[in-house]
Structure 1
Amino acid sequence: MTEEPLSTHNTSEDVTQPVNIDGAERYILWLNLLGSQKFNEETVPIPPIDVYYIWHSHLLSPLRYYEDMRRIYDPQQNFPDFPLIRLVTRYLGKNGSHTDPVSESIWVERTKQSWVLDPNDSSDFKINCPWCRKEVQISW
């Protein structure tokens, strides 16, 4: 008997859905936070891990990322680079912590979101469409 590849395996519950849906919402909040003030490479806050996943995925298509950022935000706005070295230092650091207290404080204060993504939160969320600027409600 051969096993199905994991990508085609059907389960009754998709455990990645909270990261995909809520993470996308939180990524938009993250970009808005970055665009709201100037950070240099040393002071840019470290985002929550679910936001990192979405940010990394967006960066996997550099041309699309560049076009999206120029279309949605002020073309003169310079967003900081993906802080990979700081991320690795934080996650592989001596204290084993997966958070940066300063970054967590900035995140919670500016976005009104918890640092840790709640996998049981299935509430709808609203975003402003980056293209038409209309409010869109996204449901599970």
Structure 2
Amino acid sequence: MTRFACTLTPENYDTACDLAGAALLRRVLAAATLLQITEDKVWSEFSTAVYIAADFENTIRYVGSTVRAGTSRVGDRVQEHVAAGRAARWTRLMVVPLIRDTDEILVRRIEGRIGAVLRPLDTVRLPALGRPRYLARRR
């Protein structure tokens, strides 16, 4: 079964922000590269967020989230993906920053909502209400 691929457009980003609801901190309209995030720390002010990764064709590959304490931030989570080899196809990302004290369960639900709408190609399992939501694998 082949899944329809969504692209990372301003409209899809707006949809992702809308799905965050009252937990949304603010919209960050500019995309960033892996290097900007991991080396230049462009998102260093965000410790709680959902991030959306796209490839060179602007196809959404991954939707993830992070809830960090202390000095750890979104860039640290993205760096973990890079180190594990999971970010090989990612060329640009967008962030949906959430209010710092957003409960982790709500953050994961927001990630699940965004992923269910944007259908990232490389995400196999998304958080959902009550149990994991599995996406159809791409063949």
Tell me the TM-score normalized by structure 2. 0.28
Structure number with larger C-alpha Rg: 1
Larger relative contact order (Cα-Cα within 8 Å, sequence gap ≥ 6): 2
